[in-house]
Structure 1
Amino acid sequence: MTKIFLATFPFFAIILCGYGATRFKLLPLEAIPGLNVFVLYFALPCMLFRFGAGTPIEKLLNYSVFATYCTAALLIVVIAILTTRKGDTGWNDAAFGALVASFPNTGFMGMPLLVSIAGPKVAGPLIISLSIDMIITSSLCIALSRLSNGSGAGMYRTVKDALKGVIINPLPWAILLGGAASYMNLRVHGPIMHVIEMLADTGSPMGLFAIGTVLARSHMTAAGSPGKQHMASDTMLIVSYKLVLHPLLVFGIGSLAMKAGLPLDWLSLSVLVFVAALPSASNVSILAERFGARTERIAYIVLISTTLSFFTLSFVLALFFGDSI
């Protein structure tokens, strides 16, 4: 375990640097959106394109990987909604609770961490899981959050807006372009590839630093919110869904798929379990604010899951990737 902690410590240390820089006002809150824009529109797309272009197309189109991860994600959504939609928690808050329970921080944290440990061979399952989270899980939860409106037209507009959000998100396009390059065996050379590689190399440190800044901002906002007393009701329940139940479901479904003879190898299953064990994605709090859910509730879940994941994620890495470290 000592090697695991030594391998994961730099990643969490960079998150802590971003958190501290924001809390101690070395980085103004007004600078955080610009930092996120750089990561979202430049660093991560280049990283995803490079991994997609360098991964055999059959790895990016593995239906058993898709089915395993998608089934587990949908089950988490259903379980979270059934167990949290009660009292003063309506469809809106229940749906975003389900999203924060099922949407891991794969892009900013999971991909750079696991690739640094196990190499680019893990890129295929990582990209598939990220695509499911961005397109299927997030769109479904946003649609469910609108059930409280009681308006079919309102829900239609929300689903339309969610799909529009997917279309203007650069990450799916980077994945598609990388997959197309892999399928056609195209290679980018010269200065253009050098620019892509330089930006891709910034994805890991900048993404991790950005997580820390967003966590600090969310914590500062939640601490000053009159609704902070609502934290206790289901926060730890949802955190347990994210860090414990989600990876257990992926492992169980994947094990059954392997026993049934589906083309799911042990490495791919290990990657999916790792992804499911990641803490909640920090951008869920931004979506919650946009759609009127209790932002402070989501912020605390993201903060606590990220903090606890230093231990839970290290355990998963030791269990499934100990030989790679």
Structure 2
Amino acid sequence: MLDILAITSPIFLIIAIGYIAVYRNIVAQTVARGMGAFVINFALPCLLLRTVIAHDINKVFDTNYLAAYGSGSLIVFALGYFFARLIAKKSQQNAALQGMGMSMSNSGFIGYPIVLQLLGPTAGIALALCFIIENLVITPLTLILGDSAEAEGTSRWQILRKTFTRLARNPIIVAIVIGMSISISGITLPGPIFSVIDMLASASGPVALFVIGGGLVGLKLRGLRFDMARIVFGKLVLHPLIIFLLLGLVPDLDPVMKIAAVGYACAPMLSVYPIYCQRYGHEAMGAASLMAATSLSFITISTALWLLDSTAVFGPLP
């Protein structure tokens, strides 16, 4: 267990440093948001670009991983959505957001730094695959359900076109496409260009964690207790559990990739979750859920990794 804590505790210490820095106004929260924009628009895309061009395209585009992680995420999304819609009697927009909060991990900001320490370069390959599911499946599904609920007089085709047009300009998606194109073509990037990509990619982990901490300042855990508890339970317990069970049905998948999938599924929801919630007037639910999930994830991630290590169900950790 101490070995696992040695991996997870530095991650959350950097989050704590970010929180203290913003709380004490050493770094303004607006500056922290700017750092987050740097990570999303430059550092993470460069990380994915570096990962994809450095590996064989057949290894990066692992259909077994995509099937297991994608199916698990969709199952959790559906459970969250239909429970909120049919049992809790929430609106379609609220239900879609609850499904998103349960099934979409903060893969880049929290999942990657942890899995990188645990598994090394494999973390980048798994991250690219997780981003494919999150950005091409879960995000569009949430936006389509949310927008269609309020888009009177707008056809489903117009909603789909608007959603995928927005996604086509997403720097993360652009980076994955460019990386795959370079990998398939066999082109070798000039040394100076690769050095720039490498330097920007290396900044993604620590800066992202600092931004997470700064973003927690000012969030309130008030009201919405049942919605928040349901979303946090779904994200920190149900999502990794279902991914774990589905991975057992995929014997051909590399055991190290299975560990990576569970590691990413254990991460709390994406840091911009409250922004998606704000789009439909549920920012309080999103902010409260994000703060609770991020705070509790230190316990759940450490426990999940300890169980994987002690049981060696997918083999011993590297």
User: How high is the TM-score relative to the length of structure 2?
Assistant: 0.91
Residue 236 (structure 1) aligned to one of 215, 224, 229: 229
Q: How many angstroms apart in 2 are the aligned matches of 1:321 and 1:49?
A: 30
Q: 2: distance between equivalents of 1:154 and 1:288?
A: 23
Secondary structure (helix, strand or coil) at the match of 2:248 reads: helix
CA deviations over 1:249-308 (Å, ceiling 9, x no partner): 1111121232xxxx323222221111111111111211221x223111111111111111
C-alpha offsets along residues 110-155 of structure 1, whole Å, 9 cap, x if unaligned?
1232123211134323211111101111110111123432636165
Counterpart in 1 of 2:65?
65
When normalised by structure 1's length, the TM-score is 0.89
* Separation of aligned partners in 2, 1:94 and 1:280: 15
1:93, CA displacement in angstroms?
1.1
Distance (Å, rounded) in 2 between the aligned partners of 1:239 and 1:104: 11
For residue 313 of structure 2, what is the aligned residue in structure 1? none
Measured in 2, the distance between the counterparts of 1:3 and 1:87 equals: 41
Instruction: Give me the whole-angstrom Cα distance separating, in 2, the residues matched to 1:213 and 1:159.
Output: 34
1:281 aligned to 2:270? yes
Shift of the alpha carbon at 1:84? 1.7
Matches of 1:88 and 1:25, distance apart in 2: 41
Is 1:55–1:123's contact at 8 Å kept on the other side of the alignment?
Answer: no
Find the aligned partners of 1:98 and 1:297 in 2 and give their Cα distance. Answer: 13
SS at match of 1:67: helix
Give, in whole Å, the separation in 2 of the partners of 1:163 and 1:284.
19
Q: Map Cα deviations across residues 25-61 of structure 1 (whole Å, 9 max, x no partner).
A: 2222332332122111111111111111122211222
List gaps (5 residues or longer) in structure 1.
Answer: none
Query: Structure 1 residues 145, 316: closer, same or farther in 2, change over 3 A?
Result: same
Is residue 78–residue 98 contact of structure 1 (8 Å, CA) maintained in 2?
yes
The alignment partner of 1:216 has SS state of: coil
Q: Distance in 2 between matches of 1:239 and 1:232?
A: 10
Residue 31 of structure 2 is matched in structure 1 by 31
- Counting matched residue pairs gives 312
Query: 2: CA distance between counterparts of 1:18 and 1:264?
Result: 37
Task: Give the match for residue 141 of structure 1.
Answer: 142
Amino acid at match of 2:192: P
Q: 1:246 aligns with which of 227, 239, 242?
A: 239
Q: List alignment gaps of at least 5 residues for structure 2.
A: 311-315
Aligned mates of 2:204, 2:309 — CA distance in 1: 22
Deviation at 1:232, TM superposition (A): 0.8
Q: How does 1:92-171 map to 2 (within 5 A)?
A: 92-149=93-150, 151=152, 153=154, 155-171=156-172
As a proportion of its length, which structure holds more helix? 1
* Identity %, equivalent residues: 29
Moved more, 5-14 or 179-188: 179-188
CA contact (8 A) 2:18 2:211 kept: yes
How far the C-alpha of 1:318 sits from its partner, in A, is 2.6
Q: Separation in 2 of the partners of 1:276 and 1:7? A: 17
Q: Does 1:188 align with 2:189?
A: yes
Bigger drift between 85-94 and 306-315 goes to: 85-94
State the AA in 1 paired with 2:305.
L
CA RMSD of aligned residues (A): 2.0
**Matched-pair contact (CA < 8 Å) for 2:7–2:117:** no
Q: Distance in 1 between matches of 2:142 and 2:32?
A: 26
> Aligned residue for 2:13?
13
Change (3 A) 1:320 1:192: same
- Measure, in 1, the Cα distance between the counterparts of 2:215 and 2:168: 24
Given the alignment of the two structures, is residue 316 of structure 1 paired with residue 309 of structure 2, yes or no? no
